[in-house]
Amino acid sequence: MKNSEILELSTEELSARLAQEKAGLTKLKFAHTVSAIENPSRIAKIKKDIARLNTEITNRKTVSASETI
């Protein structure tokens, strides 16, 4: 997921996507523990996507908090 795609999402969509990515990461980690997955670099990619989503959510909260002051 690219940053431009993340910026186009609403806050609710970001939260939903974050939950979806976390669930996918859990499933992928479990699959990798049970047997080797074909592309283990997907784990790192999903972690980076989660970090990007968290960063954007935090940025939006900061902006909305500074606007109310």
Summarize pLDDT for 2-60 with one digit per residue, the tens: 899 999 999 999 999 999 999 999 999 999 999 999 999 999 999 999 999 999 999 99
Please name the amino acid found at residue 29.
K
User: For residues 13 and 32, what is the distance between their CA atoms, to the nearest angstrom?
Assistant: 28
Domain residue ranges in the chain: 3-68
pLDDT of residue 31: 94
pLDDT of residue 67: 85
CA quadruple 23, 19, 53, 2: dihedral sign: positive
pTM (predicted TM-score) = 0.90
CB 25, CB 43: distance < 8 Å:
yes
pLDDT of residue 60: 95
3-68 adopts what CATH topology? Helix Hairpins (1.10.287)
